[in-house]
Structure 1
Amino acid sequence: MSTTSFAPVAAAPAHGEKPPKFFGADSKRWHQKMLFYLTTLSLSRFFKEDPPVISADDTDTQRRSALDAWNHSDFICRNYILNGLDDTIYSVYCSVNTAKELWDSLEKKYKTEDAGIKKFVVGKFIDFKMVDAKSVKSQVQEIQIIIHDLLAEGMDINEPFQVAAMIEKLPPMWKDFKNYLKHKRKELKLEDLVVRLRIEEDSRTSEAKTHKRAMEAEAKSI
């Protein structure tokens, strides 16, 4: 174990917004919020520090007091973290001895799971293709949700890439409109693209209805 200074430990008065309970999802965001919260309480140092080491027969009052103070503050830090966990997760980690061990254990488990979730969302984005049988507007909403999930996982996806990907994923019957959009010189904003797709689909729907009525009228006249 590494040694630390024997300066007395004192927690700062509570301030800052307490993070919501951690249920196992979006651990990166929860860890960041908890880290900031405990930093405002001057407790984040216990994520890195081991307890002061003194021998069992050491009778120095100052060193004993420093160790007691360290244990007390570490206990507070550890329980702040534990109380930020959902009960099902709390029961798994409540027996961990120090704040450092607890923090390291949570990061090791849930950052690994986050990496798996990120790969799943990336795969979902790559595999997504719009189909002719469904409304383009509804499928645009689906891909926007996937993109939101990617951004939430920390993936840096700029707007031009989002626009290009959405155009590329248009269904087969939109091939001509896709080519029209791809060859436009002016760079489209995502919001402008979504509006254009809605207008185009409404126009196609209207034309289809007009054509159907014309065909029905022609059939009746025969």
Structure 2
Amino acid sequence: MKDILCVQANKVCHHILLSALSNDLFNVYCSYKESKEIWDSLILKYTVKDVVRQRFIIANYYRWIMNEEKDIKVQINKYHKLLEDLKTKNISLPDNFISKLLIVKLMESWTN
């Protein structure tokens, strides 16, 4: 009886997962027999992309520097945009880290 319920549950999950996919993804995953295989593959595929995106956003934030030759308002706006990018991706960095990094990135004429 348990085996029959497991088979039925797998079929239901399999059909629900496939029905939620775009046509392109459906063509990729329709050959999978187990719903858990589809689920695990989708989780792996999309969480890795999120991690790569987060690393890219953090790297952009970390690489930002102030330059004596550029307008200060433009640079501050860029800095605020980088902070907003972090927020929109739910990347939380400690305030202490953010403030210290900003101080390190200040122009040389400001460090005195």
Q: Is the TM-score greater than 0.5?
A: yes
TM-score (ref. length: structure 2): 0.69
Residue aligning to 1:11: none
Residue aligning to 2:16: 77
Instruction: For 2:105, give the aligned amino acid.
Output: K
CA root-mean-square deviation = 2.9
* 1:140–1:119 CA distance, 2 compared to 1 (3 A): same
Identify unmatched segments of 5+ residues in structure 1. Answer: 7-51, 53-62, 177-222
1:158 matched to 2:102? The reply is: no
Identify unmatched segments of 5+ residues in structure 2. Answer: none
Residue aligning to 2:48: 112
Instruction: For 2:9, give the aligned amino acid.
Output: W
- 1:199-219 deviation line (CA, Å, top 9, x unaligned): xxxxxxxxxxxxxxxxxxxxx
Higher RCO (CA < 8 A, seq sep 6+): 2
Whole-angstrom distance in 2 between the partners of 1:67 and 1:121? 42
> What is the percentage of aligned positions where both structures have the same residue?
24
Instruction: Determine if contact 2:18/2:29 at 8 Å carries over to the other structure.
Output: no
Q: 1:137 aligns with which of 61, 66, 73?
A: 73
Residue aligning to 2:106: 170
Higher helix share: 2
The count of corresponding residues between Structure 1 and Structure 2 is 112
Q: From the CA coordinates, give the structure whose radius of gyration is larger.
A: 1
Instruction: Determine if contact 2:68/2:107 at 8 Å carries over to the other structure.
Output: yes
